[in-house]
Amino acid sequence: MGKEVIVVREFDKERDCVGVEMVERKCEVGPSGEMSLFTDLMGDPICRIRHSPAFLMLVAEIGVEKEIVGLIRGCIKTVTCGKKVSRNGKKTSDSNVTVLHVPVYTKLAYTLGLRVSPSHRRMGIGLKLVSAIETWFQENGAEYSYMATDKDNEASIKLFTEKCGYVKFRNPSILVQPIFAHRVKLPSRVTIFKITPHDAESLYRRRFSTVEFFPRDIDSILNNKLNLGTFVAIPTDTYQTWPGSERFLAESPESWAILSIWNSKEVFRLEVRGGSRLKKGLARTSRLVDKAFPWLRIPSVPEVFRPFGLHFLYGLGGEGPDSVRLTRALCGLAHNSAKESGCGVLATEVASCEPLRLGIPHWKRLSCAEDIWCVKRLGEDYSDGAVGDWTKSPPGLSVFVDPREF
């Protein structure tokens, strides 16, 4: 019998949804026999990338029956890969001269959702899918490609680093906080403003555009229907009302913090499978007690053994000695908003050395202390004001995580 031919082609929503869902279910995260995490893409396998400027999904099929045995998703955007001193500024020790930095952008591709059916692994299907998506990346002008995976996913890391030419690049942390049955009490000495997308864009571009991976189309994200708002926290004695972004940027308080909330609940649902009756019982009991006695503020476990949604926090930033405390207040506001929306958890992803990390509540058991981002240079660096080979650049204190790709 001859070797079965593997065909990689573009995803067809009309005929491929059932086959893709079967592959996804077979590839649930988690070792056999233990609790695993299943992601339900709300019946639309391409929903996680459709909000990106350019995107593609490929499937691998095999045999005369054209069984789908693998899939991969990819998208392309323009992001910050470094910074340079502007022509109007100059390097000097003179305190009267302001050194201005401007972002250096590059066209970046992101590979996500690589899946190969367990019964068809070690056949080169993963490599074929990655090669095919990279061809599309290059045809569309991408200069770099990156992927993210858990540090324990040895098979994926080995495929990308040993066979596809990627290098380990950054090690951010995914921080997850459960949504309790009680509301989080917000500090009285902190004032929180919800600002307009226009003010948010102005603030982000002026203060965070030189942060690695900052998306050039931040306006598209802030105006997306999935964006639930941008919030700024300041000490109560600073402003009585929001002064507008121009005044805030010109006369910003000593301490402040900012974050935006993305409604991932409308894109996908998660479900923890394989939990024992004991664990399910303890989780249920904690919620019942928390709901009955909310003033005790018991850290109850949400219903994660059924499909649940999440809100994703992004664009976290701030300045000043109280920025960590202000960030914690913003996370409290986000928790209460997620509770009203019926979410199970809050999630965010930050650089491992992010200064504001101490202000982000999370449970270690639900979080991932070390996510692995691997990157590959696809061609010459055509970015405006080249910074050399980005794959060899040292990490900064912060990283901007695009909510469209979480």
Q: Please write the tens of the pLDDT for every residue from 307-323.
A: 899 999 999 999 999 99
One CATH from 3.40.50.1820, 3.30.43.10, 3.40.630.30, 3.40.190.10 for 6-171+370-405: 3.40.630.30
112-159: pLDDT as tens digits: 989 999 989 888 999 999 999 999 999 999 999 999 998 888 999 999
Handedness of CA 362, 364, 365, 368 (dihedral sign): positive
DSSP at 254 = S
**Residue of 9, 47, 45, 55 whose CA lies nearest to 25:** 45
174-228: pLDDT as tens digits: 999 999 999 999 999 999 999 999 999 999 999 999 999 999 999 999 999 999 9
At 381 the pLDDT is 54
Contacts of 272 (CB under 8 A, 6+ apart): 35, 36, 37, 38, 304, 305
Whole-number Å distance between alpha carbons of 1 and 231 = 63
DSSP at 324 = H
| pTM for the full predicted model | 0.91
351-361: pLDDT as tens digits: 999 999 999 99
Contacts of 273 (CB under 8 A, 6+ apart): 28, 35, 36, 37, 38, 305
271-317: pLDDT as tens digits: 887 778 888 888 889 989 988 998 988 889 888 888 899 999 999 99
Using alpha carbons, list the distances in angstroms from residue 326 to 33, 172, 240, 262, 348: 42, 22, 16, 19, 16
Using alpha carbons, list the distances in angstroms from residue 335 to 5, 39, 97, 195, 294: 50, 22, 43, 18, 15
Whole-number Å distance between alpha carbons of 114 and 8 = 13
Whether the CB-CB separation of 110 and 74 falls below 8 Å is answered with yes
For the chain, the domains span: 6-171+370-405, 176-359
Q: What is the CATH number of domain 176-359?
A: 3.40.630
Tokens standing for 352? 């491992």
